[in-house]
Structure 1
Amino acid sequence: MTTLFKAAALATVSLGAMSAPLFAEIEPVTLRLAHVVNEQDGFHAAATKFQELVAERSDGAISVEIFPNATLGDERTLLEGMQIGTVDMGVITNGPVSNFLEEMAVFELPFLFPSPEAAYSVLDGEIGQELLDRLSEVNLKGLAYAERGFRNLTNSERPVTAPEDLDGLRIRVMENPVYIDTFRELGADAIPMAWTEALTAMQQGTIDGQENPVGVVYSFKLNETQTNMTMTRHTYAPAIFVMGMPKWNQLSGEAQEIVSEAAQEAAEYERALNAELEAEQLQALKDAGMTVVEDADLSAFAAAIQPVYEEYGEKFGDYLPRIREALK
């Protein structure tokens, strides 16, 4: 039981039935939470769980209105809106967040985390919390790490089993230097663009492929344009429950505690959901006719991207060596 709810319980017991619990004193507020994916995606599941938790724990004083499908803009636009107070909060992929605080991109160095559990140990530990706290430097409040998950490669041209198979393929990547340089080292023509634009580009054939976790490939039915997927698991991508500091500073301490704890629980819920659904979604994609390469030469991929570590290893201060030490 949190300190808040202990206090609420004590207040109610000591003052008798006439007394209202502490959370009744929370100023009613509606939070506008946005994300860029559809209602079948894990981000929406996380947002919905958060919505339920804050409503329950504030006795309805805190309500959440969810805006999916990039209705309020792409992820960069949402983050800029949070900074100035036109958007309250969102579930945002880590890549765009790192354009505002560069060190956040350390988590997405290729082949850094060997497993989801290894990633969670770092994200939920001292290093992850330190970087969430540092988002205040850019007028954002980092609340918790959900996940996009381990990313895999899809394309419409040919099966990819080794880096040389990527030669010349036009691959959409997030607007993030680490991703751009990773795929250039692998021989692809890396094309940074917002996700909303990428969906149209795949349909029109102006790009050949993209990279995302299985859940995204499934929920957006990318198999309709992307005939091949390679289980590269090249990067673990966190996602962040993030709020603009203008909105955060308007909340009372009690409301902030409820929001923070609900974000963490919703993030953990979404991670577990991703793990549960991935095998089922992968099988559904195979059944729909997608060619899935599960035995690619990942050691060759890992060797090919070593220049990325040489380029970026020192750009993130001491975070990379600290993460490597934590993973031992």
Structure 2
Amino acid sequence: MKKIISIIICVLMFTTVLSGCTKSEGKNTGANTSDSEKEPMTIKLAHVVNEKDGFHIAAMKFKELVEEKTEGKVKIELYPNATLGDERTLLKGMQMGTVDMGIITNGPVANFVEEIAVFELPFLFSSPEEAYKVLDGSVGKELLGKLENVNLKGLAYAERGFRNLTNSKKPVNSAADVEGLKIRVMENPVYIDTFKSLEANAVPMAWTEALTALQQGTIDGQENPVNVIHSFKLHETQKYLSMTRHTYAPAILVMSKKKFEELPTDVQGIFEESAQRAAEYERKINAENEAKQLEELKASGMEIVEPDLESFKKAVEPVYEKYKDKYGEYIEKINEDLK
């Protein structure tokens, strides 16, 4: 009897050990499967304009490049049309780590890094090529680096482009014609002072609010590049477009510093390279599209004026006088780069 009991105990012990080994092997197999099927990292990229705009073109290109170079391990989700907030809200969200990244017009960025507003000075650049040389060079990189001091990571400069004046009241043929017009400008001191020097009633407000104000007629006009005027169908509220090209406005592909630092080192490099390529792609598309967009605006009933630019340059000289102490160092560096 004792012998039988001993045999039964041995059989039970063997069965328990065998069962444990099987479970252990199953766990290991499951872990390996989990590693190979790991969910891709998702990055949310937001901007405030519509899907026809240059910002969205840059965003789509960035998405394509990152997903290709990471072999799908990183997915970029796009949020256009201010679905995650206006530009100031997006920047604050990036600082706090609640927004991953965005494409933001340079003007609002200057509220976080003051020196970057040097690019907003009127008639600083005479051509896109001059702007690209500075932005992609040492001055541009130095100013992008300053974003890290406010918990942001600047990746590259896309563009908003050369800004032009529209209004619903009258043709603007010279600086004198701007006097008294109520013009929406970005929430940026340099833009406000530029239009005050033209004796306009400068009204700083977010773009999302400006669209409503234009429709309601509470402001007379605004200033933006041709691609924005076209994509937002501003001919419906604005009769006159003056090709002032008074300011070249960069836009920045910018990330939450916290989110950027969470990326593996190789992915950080992919993000930086892809941002630069996306920015250059958007610039190229903007240049190709401008003539066609102007023709379409004209066909839609918009009157396009080539104003006396010398009168504008003369009128905004006080802006340089006001900001020479604040931005003088960078103005010298920019002029040096352009030699």
Scaled by the length of structure 1, the TM-score of the pair is 0.91
Which residue number in structure 1 is paired with residue 308 of structure 2? 297
Asked if 1:42 corresponds to 2:20, the answer is no
The answer on whether the counterparts of 1:140 and 1:245 sit within 8 Å (CA) in structure 2 is yes
Q: 1:38 Cα shift? A: 0.2
Which residue number in structure 1 is paired with residue 329 of structure 2? 318
In 2, distance between residues paired with 1:146 and 1:97? 13
* Structure exhibiting the larger radius of gyration computed from Cα positions: 2
In 2, distance between residues paired with 1:55 and 1:231? 38
In 2, distance between residues paired with 1:325 and 1:156? 40
Scaled by the length of structure 2, the TM-score of the pair is 0.88
Which residue number in structure 2 is paired with residue 28 of structure 1? 40
The answer on whether the counterparts of 1:95 and 1:174 sit within 8 Å (CA) in structure 2 is yes
Q: Matched residues, percent identical?
A: 67
Aligned structure 1 segments of 4 or more residues deviating by more than 6 angstroms = 24-27
In 1, distance between residues paired with 2:140 and 2:246? 20
The answer on whether the counterparts of 1:26 and 1:254 sit within 8 Å (CA) in structure 2 is no
Asked if 1:149 corresponds to 2:155, the answer is no
Which residue number in structure 1 is paired with residue 229 of structure 2? 217
How do 1:149-298 and structure 2 match up within 5 A?
A: 149-294=161-306, 296-298=307-309
Letter aligned with residue 201 of structure 1 = A
Letter aligned with residue 68 of structure 1 = P
Asked if 1:68 corresponds to 2:46, the answer is no
In 2, distance between residues paired with 1:206 and 1:30? 41
Letter aligned with residue 281 of structure 2 = Y
Q: Which moved more, 1:260-269 or 1:317-326?
A: 317-326
In 1, distance between residues paired with 2:51 and 2:135? 26
Structure 1 residues 239 and 277: alpha-carbon distance in aligned structure 2, compared to 1, 3 A threshold: same
In 1, distance between residues paired with 2:202 and 2:37? 52
Structure 1 residues 26 and 176: alpha-carbon distance in aligned structure 2, compared to 1, 3 A threshold: farther
In 1, distance between residues paired with 2:300 and 2:203? 27
In 2, distance between residues paired with 1:131 and 1:267? 17
Q: 1:190 Cα shift? A: 0.2
Q: 1:104 Cα shift? A: 0.5
Gaps of 5+ in 1: 1-23
The answer on whether the counterparts of 1:102 and 1:316 sit within 8 Å (CA) in structure 2 is no
How do 1:102-121 and structure 2 match up within 5 A?
A: 102-121=114-133
Instruction: Find the residue that maps to 2:327 and give its secondary structure.
Output: coil
Instruction: Find the residue that maps to 1:145 and give its secondary structure.
Output: strand
In 2, distance between residues paired with 1:96 and 1:134? 15
Letter aligned with residue 319 of structure 1 = Y
Instruction: Find the residue that maps to 1:153 and give its secondary structure.
Output: strand
Gaps of 5+ in 2: 1-35
In 2, distance between residues paired with 1:110 and 1:166? 15
Q: 1:108 Cα shift? A: 1.2
Q: Which residue of 66, 69, 76 maps to 1:57?
A: 69
In 2, distance between residues paired with 1:25 and 1:324? 53
Letter aligned with residue 159 of structure 1 = P
The structure in which a higher percent of residues are helix is: 2
Give the aligned length: 304
Q: 1:288 Cα shift? A: 0.6
Instruction: Find the residue that maps to 1:316 and give its secondary structure.
Output: helix
Instruction: Find the residue that maps to 1:210 and give its secondary structure.
Output: strand
Q: 1:316 Cα shift? A: 2.2
The answer on whether the counterparts of 1:26 and 1:58 sit within 8 Å (CA) in structure 2 is no
Letter aligned with residue 140 of structure 2 = G
